[in-house]
Amino acid sequence: MLGPADSQTGRIGRESAVITPMEITLERAVSTPDPDAEKRARVARRLGQRRDQKVSGRPRIWRSRIVAWLVWLYAAGVLVAWGLLLGGGDRWWFPTVMLYSPRWIYALPLIVLVPTALLWRRRMLWVLTAVALIVGGPIMGFCAPWTGWAASDESTIRTLTCNVQTDHVDREALARLIEETRPDIVALQECDPDYRPTWPPGWHSYRAGGLLLASRYPIRDVQIRLLHHPPQRWPRVSAIYGILETPQRPVHFCNLHLRSPRWGLMEVLDRRSVVDASRSPALLAEIDYRRREAQEIKEWIDGLSPSVVIAGDFNMPTDSTIYRDTWAAYANAFSQVGWGFGYTKWSPLFGFHYGSRIDHVLTGAGWRAVNCRVGPEVSSDHRPLIADLSWTGPSDAP
């Protein structure tokens, strides 16, 4: 027989053994597999992978953006430099320094930016291509005759011009070049008084100051023009003009040597600071002298003949404002039919040499350039410029 304590203990055991319906439901829920659990796990793993990819891709995104910023900054700098050269060269002092400095420096960033863009931002290669075309074309002066060299049924005359740099020229090399190229007209600048070239038999020549004009045809009605800017007691000869009696027609020809910008540039260039802006008034005065000289000689030539051929050392590139304001009415032979950069002057810089195109052959009304090229080195700091010209004007033109 059970006592009260035992009966109470048994009742408690029976009550604890009773399982309620809610507990049964929870147990089933726990023991029954969830068909969406695996799908949710896959989604979570994918989200984790994307988050990891975003974290790991952030450096690449930043590198791509930095490359784009650098490319656009370089493109803007090139456009600014181009604008300064066109608008300020031979007008303001600093763009003038740029005008006569090496142009290849504007292409140097391409060495780094092109491979960087290939790695991190290939779409920027189109921008770099456009910038490279601007640097190589308008800035560095690459010329390409789009229609090829012109063909002509008319007879041509060949001109050869060269600044022989007084006594630095290799006289034998220049004589061989004249013999090989067989020019009809030779225009030389900075000739030493003792320089007496040996011309082919029957040639005619005229010398004034440092200028020498020679031709296989007779030369008549010779005139000279002196340099009056800046005023000086003994002005040098800037130009020789003469009429050549060719079998086809008279050829009006001018051998030209304009004032060099060297003296003004030397004033502002400094070994320590590279450029000394405090000396810029000297360069601006030199620019004014050169502009006035070019304008006066242009007016003098215009009064002689509209169909003149002008060849020589202009001491200015074609993007100079002096050149464009003064000589743009004439056709530039190399700009029309030349191929390449056409550099005729080579200047030293820290042990290297850089080129510029400051020697030109210009033609007036009735003339057309057929071919134009730079000749070989003759030990001068200038190279010869050779042009073949054809007369396309009326046969009865004076």
| Contact (Cβ atoms closer than 8 angstroms) between residue 257 and residue 210 | yes
- CATH architecture for residues 156-391: 4-Layer Sandwich (3.60)
Taking each helix axis as running N to C, give the angle between helix 109-120 and helix 124-134, from 0 to 180 degrees, rounded to the nearest 10.
160
- C-alpha 179: how far from its chain's center? 34
Give strand ranges (E) for the chain. 156-166, 185-191, 204-208, 211-215, 219-226, 237-245, 250-257, 269-270, 274-275, 309-313, 331-332, 345-349, 352-356, 359-363, 367-374, 385-391
| Contact (Cβ atoms closer than 8 angstroms) between residue 117 and residue 71 | yes
> Which residue do the tokens 């690459």 mark?
142
pLDDT in tens, 16-70: 445 555 554 545 544 555 566 666 666 666 655 555 555 444 566 888 899 999 9
DSSP readout, 78-129?
Answer: HHHHHHHHHHHTTTSHHHHHHHTS-SGGGGTHHHHHHHHHHHH-TTHHHHHH
**Whether pLDDT at 147 is above 80:** no
CA-to-CA dists, residue 393 to 249, 335, 348, 363, angstroms: 11, 20, 43, 12
CA-to-CA dists, residue 397 to 159, 249, 319, 388, 391, angstroms: 21, 9, 32, 20, 10
The Cα–Cα gap between 374 and 383 comes to 7
Paired tokens of 346: 């080579």
| Contact (Cβ atoms closer than 8 angstroms) between residue 254 and residue 241 | yes
DSSP readout, 244-266?
Answer: EE-SSSEEEEEEEEPPPTHHHHH
Q: Taking the domains of the chain in order of start, what are their residue ranges?
A: 63-139, 156-391
pLDDT in tens, 189-225: 999 888 888 888 899 999 998 999 999 999 999 999 9
Give residues with Cβ within 8 angstroms of 197, minimum separation 6. 171, 174, 175, 178, 188, 212, 214
pLDDT in tens, 101-143: 999 999 999 999 999 999 888 899 999 999 999 999 999 999 9
The Cα–Cα gap between 335 and 82 comes to 18
pLDDT in tens, 334-368: 999 999 999 999 988 777 789 999 999 999 999 99
The Cα–Cα gap between 65 and 131 comes to 19
pLDDT in tens, 254-290: 999 999 999 899 888 877 768 888 889 999 999 999 9
pLDDT score at 352: 78
pTM of the shown model: 0.81
Q: Is the peptide bond before 247 cis (omega within 30 degrees of 0)?
A: no
